[in-house]
Amino acid sequence: MARSKFIYHLLALAVVAVWGVTFVCTKVLISAGLRPAEIFAIRFTLAYLGIWGLSLVQGHPSFAGRSGSPRSGRVRLWSRSWQDELMFVFLGVSGGSFYFLTENTALAYTQASNTSFLVCSAPLITALLILLYRRLRHDRYSDAMEDIRLGFPLIGGTLLAFGGMALMLFDGTRVQVSLRGDLLAIGAAVCWAFYSLFMGKMTDDYGAVFATRKVFAYGLLTILPFLLSRDPQELLAVLRQPAIWPNLLFLGLCASLACFVVWNLVMSRLGNITATNYVYLNPVFTLISAMIFLGERLTPAGAIGSALILAGVILAGRQGQKHAILPLAGEK
């Protein structure tokens, strides 16, 4: 058991390392002329085609028909209920279209390292959402969520992280356009927190491949309205640039297809918070790659703010029962 958990921890670390580099790849694509919605649409189309290949190979034998026997060789198209289908729509928006639209747009206005540091507040926001959700509701989603207790680590970590975000947002050297980018990055963190809240349970119920395919599908459907203002000839001219396709293939096949499948599996095995806490390592990989490939630098206030965010997220991740001061509703 311990060995199997260790493997999932290594997988989480590998995924976060890849995702840290994606901020730099996306920044390169935006600088080359691709728009945020176009980057998402192309990378997720590549990933969606790939996930269908996995679906056809797998056949989803884990889904049982009415007789109780596995439907070997068949690809399931829909969830077991319309409620679950609506949940996948929500996950496609929060973990797909809206998340990447806010994150990619943020990269057009601020540094890749800034965006990465601010998005890494997602684990902390996830913990707060779980705490709130389990107090307000008791259902199959809340039962699958990790045990979050309100104590010093969570409160102290929250204050540290939000203090760090305040330093990064208002460090005295920003113009309004950078502030817009930083706020969009925080919006992306909120979207990912909502995605993390429910995706582990849906992966548990439906399997990583099926759940990921549904997220990709609804993410692509909900991004369509943002793709209508571009002249096709202009887009084709941008896509002919040599730097475009290596970055798009990396984002679509590695960072989206492979990493989303692995990450959804990791969340279902390690839990919402344990898995999502690995996101705090994102900025480390982003900062190193941004300094190497983009020549980015942090201001002194931004560096202090980044350190506070990391410290806050790590501290909040150490919350546990021994620090509990308020029991969760429904617990004995």
Question: 0.75 exceeded by the pTM?
Answer: no
Angle formed by the axes of helices 208-223 and 176-206, nearest 10°: 140
pLDDT of 199 > 50? The answer is yes
- Residues with Cβ within 8 Å of 330's Cβ and at least 6 positions away in sequence, in order, are 134, 138, 142
Neighbours of 268 (CB within 10 A): 22
Question: Over 80: is that where the pLDDT of 308 sits?
Answer: yes
Listed residue (240, 117, 239, 225) closest to 171, CA to CA: 117
Proportion of the chain above pLDDT 70, given as a percent: 83
pLDDT band at 158 (very low <50, low <70, confident <90, very high): confident
Residue in the block written with tokens 């502030």 = 179
Q: What are residue 70's DSSP bridge partners?
A: 64
Summarize pLDDT for 19-53 with one digit per residue, the tens: 889 988 998 999 899 999 999 999 899 989 988 88
Domain boundaries, the chain: 2-60+77-323
DSSP 8-class letter at 247:
H
Q: Say what the pLDDT of residue 172 is.
A: 61
At 205 the pLDDT is 87
Asked if pLDDT for residue 4 goes beyond 90, the answer is: no
Whether the Cβ atoms of residue 276 and residue 267 lie closer than 8 Å to each other? yes
pLDDT at 285: 80
User: In this model, does residue 188 exceed pLDDT 90?
Assistant: yes
Helix (H, G, I), strand (E, B) or coil at 70: strand
CA-CA-CA-CA dihedral for 179, 124, 95, 180, to nearest 10: 0
Q: Give the pLDDT of residue 13.
A: 85
User: How sure is the predictor about 195, in pLDDT bands with cuts at 50, 70 and 90?
Assistant: very high
The predicted structure's pLDDT at residue 68 = 37
Report how far residue 328's alpha carbon sits from residue 107's, in angstroms, rounded to the nearest whole number.
Answer: 38
The whole-chain average pLDDT of the chain stands at 79
Q: Which of 70, 84, 125 is nearest to 312 (CA)?
A: 125
φ, ψ of residue 137 in degrees (nearest 5):
-135, 155
> Strand, helix or coil at 38?
helix
Q: Give the pLDDT confidence score for residue 74 in this predicted structure.
A: 66
Element (H, E) at 290: helix 282-293
Task: Flag whether pLDDT at 241 surpasses 70.
Answer: yes
Give the percent of the chain with pLDDT over 90. Answer: 23
Number of H helices, E strands in the chain: 16, 0
47-51, 105-109, 155-159: segment of lowest average pLDDT: 155-159
Do 210 and 60 meet the contact criterion of CB atoms below 8 Å apart?
Answer: yes
> Whose CA is closest to 262, among 212, 215, 220, 190?
212
Confidence band of 174 (pLDDT split at 50, 70, 90): low
Q: What are 64's strand-pairing partners? A: 70
